[in-house]
Structure formats: C-alpha cells, structure tokens
Amino acid sequence: MVVVAGSAVVVSQASADQKKTPDLKKWYLLVNRNSGKVLDDHGSAKNDGAAMVQWSRNGGADQQWRFVDSGDGYYRLQNRSSGKVLDDLGWSKTAGSALVQWSDLNGTNQQFKLAKSSNGYVRLVNRFSGMAVGVKSAAKANGRKIVQNRDRSGADQQWKLVAVGSVSGGGTPTPSVSGGVASPTPSATRPSSSPSPSSSTPAGGSGGSAKRFMGSDTVLIGGSMSDESAAAAPFDVRYAYVHSQPAPSSDYYTAAKCHDDWSGWWGCWNGSTTAPGTYVTWRDDVVSQATYKGKSRPQKMLWTWYSLRDLGDAAGEGDGPGEVKAINRKDLLTRYLNDYRFFLQKIGKSPDMIDLEPDFWGFARSLGNLHQVSAQVSASNPTDCGSQENSAAGLAQCLISMAHKYAPNAGVGLHLSCFDWQTNLQKCVNDYTDLGAKNADFLVSDESDRDAGWYAQPAHGGSDHFWNDQKAAAALKYWKTMAESAGKPVVLWQVPVGNMAQNNTLNHYKDDKVDWFFGHMDQVANAHIAGLFFGPGQQEQTSAETDGGNLINKTIAYHNSGGTPLK
C-alpha cells in the first residue's frame, strides 16, 4: 500500500517487500527515475574501488549490468565493461557512503534485493547495510556519485531495468575506436528548405562559380550539444549516433507504438509512448525549428550510422574482424539492411547527412582487397542491391545507393577509417576508390576521439595529442588528398572541444583544436573541408557545455565574419 501525504510518499513494508525478478541472461541499463540518467562505471575503469556515477545514456558496455544470483532473492550487479560488481565500500552502514565496483567476492555487501516501486521501477537494497542505491544529493547532473542511503523510496533511489541484450553476446557495446558517444537524446536538424547535396565541384551560386555543399557556400560549423547550446550560436549542423542491434523482425517497423521491451533498439529509444523511428523524426522536427537570437535559423542533421559494430555482437564475434564476419551471414545482413532502410525512410525528404560506419571500413581494409572480402549483399537485399557485388566494396555501394533512393535529399558520406594514412596514404586512396567513394556525396574523418589534455594524463597513457604546425600540415594534406581522389569534400566530425584555458579535470580538459581550426579557416577550406563538427568522443571529455563558452564564442565570431568560402 502507498500512502500519499502532501508531497511525501510513504511505502508500506508490504509494498517494499514485493520483488521483481531480473532475467539472469540479460544485460540491463539501470535508468534513474529522478535524473533519467543511468548507472555508469565512470570512465570504463577496471580497478577495484572505482567510483560509480550516473551519466547520460549512451548504451556503452560501462553502462550495462547483469544480475548474478546470490540466493534468497539477492543478486550481485556485474558491470559488462569491468567484470566487477557493485560494492558497499568498506562494509559501511553509514548513510551517504559510496558505492563502488570491486572484484566479485559474493560478500553480503555486494548483494542486493530488488524492492518494487511504482510504474516498473525498483529499489536496490544492500543485504549488509539495508540501505538503498541512490544518487548523491538527488542530483541530476552527469558524474554525480552513486551512494547508499536510508530506503525512503525517493525517485533518486528508483531504477528502471532496461534490457539491452543477452549475456551470450547481445546488447549495445561502447563505441570507442572512433570515440563514439551515442546519445539517447539525439541531436538533429531539419531545415525548412530541401537543397540537394552537392560535392566540392562547382554547383549553384551566381554564374555557377561558387562551390556549395548541403546548400551552403561556406564551411559549415556544428557539433553534438544540448538544445540550449545549439541556440546560443549560429550553428549549422548537429550530429548524433544511430547505434544498436537491428530490429529482430519486421513487426518493429509496422507497430503503431514501441513496446517496453524494445527499448534497446534505436527506433524505440524515445520510449513506448512513441512510434518506432521517432528517434529520427522527432529530432528532425526539433531542429527544423531551431532559432538564433529569437529568429528562425534551421539547422541540419548529421546521423552517424554505427550499427555494424552491433552486428558483430549479434554474430557472437564482437567488434573488429567480428563485424566483417557478420556481413557474410545472410540472416544478420538481411536484418541490418532492413534496419538501414527503415532509418532512411524515417529521414524521408529531410536534407540530413549520413556518416556511414566509422571504423568498419578500416577493419575490412585490414583483410586485403575489398572486392575479395565476402559479404552476402545481393541475397540479403535483392530489392535494392541485387546487382551489387558480394563483397565489402559491394556493401558500401549498396548503402550509398539505398540512401540516394530512400532519402533523396540527404547527403551520404563514407567514413575515412584509414588507420595507416601516415605510412600508406596511397593504399587509403586505392581502397576508397574500391569502396565507391566517388558515388558518395562527401567523406567523413575524425582527428582524435578525446581531448589532448585527457591523453596527456599519466593514467591515460601520457601521450601527446596537441597540435603543432607540422601535425596540422600532415593532417590537412591527408584530407585534401582523399577529397581530390574522390572528387568530394571532407567533413571533420567529433573534433575535440577542449579549451586551453581548462584545468585538465573531468569534463574540463585542454585541447587546441577549436582554436587552431577557427584560426586557420583558409587552410581548412583549401583542404576541401566543408564542415567542422565538434563534440566529445567519450563521457569524460570537454563539451560545449563545459568549455567555458569557447566554441560558442568562436562560432559567433566566425558567423559575424561572413564565413569562409568553400574551395
């Protein structure tokens, strides 16, 4: 029985003793009722005693937990990234004491029962202390610590279990190689006009002399950021990931509304009250109404389609070479291409951009000639790709042609995963020729997935990722070479947001990329770079919300200057 008195909620012992039984074969995200954020192994730490925090949901392995039966209705919560379990540090019975991760000793301080709350939420009550898992001070911000406290059934002590896959290999992995953070609250845009994408070859403009890309004749500026930040400067583009295993059946595409147990699939990330695919259409509508200084200024959307990583999991192989094995399975590639078609149909006639599969092309390249890396393309989608070659090269062509068919106003770009560009640039040129880069609308590249100040820390390897003129010149030559070989412009994606005025603490790391790019826009344009899109590649990094306003201020100044013409 629940008794409501004013704003206080008192839960009777009978109600508290009701239990929810988790599926021991599933990985779960634990979503906090108060903040909407999830239980997170901070920084994917692997050590005993590492703090647990709440963080915006990105589906990473550090946010996935499984329940291990300890008997008598108690469970250990094991983190997928570290393999360690949630632990009442030091066998504490003090209210407000920290909960951490620790090697699984099956101690009672590592055991929790699930006490039922309303609307599908549960409280996690520690067997040793009798206290419930919650967020310190009921905070709603990223990075706030997970603590135990007297079980008062507060919203900050209530968690929803969202299944994301099977323990045998399903679920949503961490997008780390290219530095991916998949956001459950997508950042997107839908301009009111619908210009067709064009390459760096002359198109539009007076006398046909001005180069244009996605309706603009100047270098576009954008990134991954909150709605508030996006309205604080005249940003042109916002981006977000689409990153999950494909829907298991076509029923997902035709349902009127999502089901609760479909929430691990990208199409239902917006919840069971919405139609499948709302993740795309909702954000497209939001950014089509973007404003700056109170006036309408529609933005564009770049979607990073990053789902072959998940297909490798579905194959039980994981990422890297496992992804390449997965494309040679008709059953899995059929599901993948069906999902991709549905995604494109949700874009429809919106003038969005699509960034195809960071990392994957690099894994495929490592196996040799891309025409000889097998893929069940024609059999998996005979309707759209029946004439394509059954290879990784054929898959790239299939994805490009499907985008042009189902999202005719969108631009589609192959991601440059040339991990060896500094030593074998010609191989990169040859491989992307084989992939059909000339048939795409642009290329996508990323310089670094994390702030240079983060990499400089001894705990993170102590490596030097700051730029100097020599490093910049080499990178610009690479991008210019790839652009000219394909006849298409390059956009730089997930550029670190770090600010040199920061202090190298959580979300406040130093980096010089923002300052360098905005200070050398002529060199940027000369390298046929058509867009600079800034954003953190991992949850500890600096963002537009934590950089002290540097990115916003420089974007305003760039806009006020009239922008830099494309070349």
Question: Residue 156 corresponds to which tokens in the numbers above?
Answer: 């900050």
Q: Are 567 and 521 contacting, i.e. CB atoms less than 8 angstroms apart?
A: no
**pLDDT at 311 exceeding the cut of 90:** yes
**pLDDT at 1 exceeding the cut of 60:** no
Helix, strand, coil percent values for the chain (each to nearest 5): 30, 25, 45
Domains of the chain and any CATH numbers: 18-166 (2.80.10.50), 206-560 (3.20.20.80)
Query: What pLDDT is attached to residue 171?
Result: 40
Query: What pLDDT is attached to residue 475?
Result: 98
DSSP letter at 145?
B
Please state, for a pLDDT cut of 90, what percent of the chain lies above it: 77
Query: What pLDDT is attached to residue 210?
Result: 63
**pLDDT at 15 exceeding the cut of 70:** no
Residue type at position 151: D
Beta bridge partners of 122: 116, 159
Ordered DSSP codes for 368-394: S-TTSSB--HHHH-HHHHTTS-SBHHH
Determine the Cα–Cα distance for residues 400 and 402; give it in Å rounded to an integer: 6
Question: Residue 541 corresponds to which tokens in the numbers above?
Answer: 């990094």
pLDDT band at 48 (very low <50, low <70, confident <90, very high): confident
Element (DSSP H or E) covering residue 137: none
pLDDT band at 58 (very low <50, low <70, confident <90, very high): confident
Question: Residue 528 corresponds to which tokens in the numbers above?
Answer: 């046929």
**pLDDT at 284 exceeding the cut of 80:** yes
Ordered DSSP codes for 64-99: -EEEEEEETTEEEEEETTT--EEEEGGG---TT-BE
pLDDT digits (tens, 9 = 90+) for 353-401: 999 999 999 999 999 999 999 999 999 999 999 999 999 999 999 999 9
Q: How far is CA 175 from CA 439, 457, 504, in A?
A: 27, 22, 23
pLDDT digits (tens, 9 = 90+) for 105-117: 888 899 999 999 9
Q: Are 253 and 194 contacting, i.e. CB atoms less than 8 angstroms apart?
A: no
Could you tell me which of 303, 305, 276 has the C-alpha nearest to residue 287? 303
Mean pLDDT of the chain: 88
Could you tell me which of 398, 445, 440, 396 has the C-alpha nearest to residue 417? 445
Beta bridge partners of 509: none
Query: What pLDDT is attached to residue 42?
Result: 86
**pLDDT at 288 exceeding the cut of 80:** yes
Collapsing DSSP to helix, strand or coil, 77 comes out as: strand
pLDDT band at 189 (very low <50, low <70, confident <90, very high): very low
pLDDT digits (tens, 9 = 90+) for 81-101: 999 999 998 888 888 999 999
User: The whole model's pTM is what?
Assistant: 0.67
Phi, psi of 469 (to 5 degrees): -60, -35
Mean pLDDT, to the nearest integer, of 348-355? 97
Beta strand 353-356 with 300-305 is: parallel
C-alpha 486: how far from chain center: 27
Query: What pLDDT is attached to residue 317?
Result: 87
pLDDT band at 492 (very low <50, low <70, confident <90, very high): very high
pLDDT digits (tens, 9 = 90+) for 129-163: 999 999 999 999 999 999 999 999 899 999 999 99
Query: What pLDDT is attached to residue 175?
Result: 33
Mean pLDDT, to the nearest integer, of 407-427? 96
Q: How far is CA 563 from CA 95, 209, 273, 385, 486, in A?
A: 55, 17, 42, 40, 25
pLDDT digits (tens, 9 = 90+) for 18-46: 446 899 999 999 999 999 999 999 888 88
Query: What pLDDT is attached to residue 60?
Result: 85
**pLDDT at 196 exceeding the cut of 70:** no
pLDDT band at 72 (very low <50, low <70, confident <90, very high): confident
Residues sharing a CB contact under 8 Å with residue 370, sequence separation 6 or more, in sequence order: 364, 391, 392, 393, 396, 431, 434, 435
Please state, for a pLDDT cut of 70, what percent of the chain lies above it: 89
Beta bridge partners of 123: 115
Q: Are 544 and 229 contacting, i.e. CB atoms less than 8 angstroms apart?
A: yes
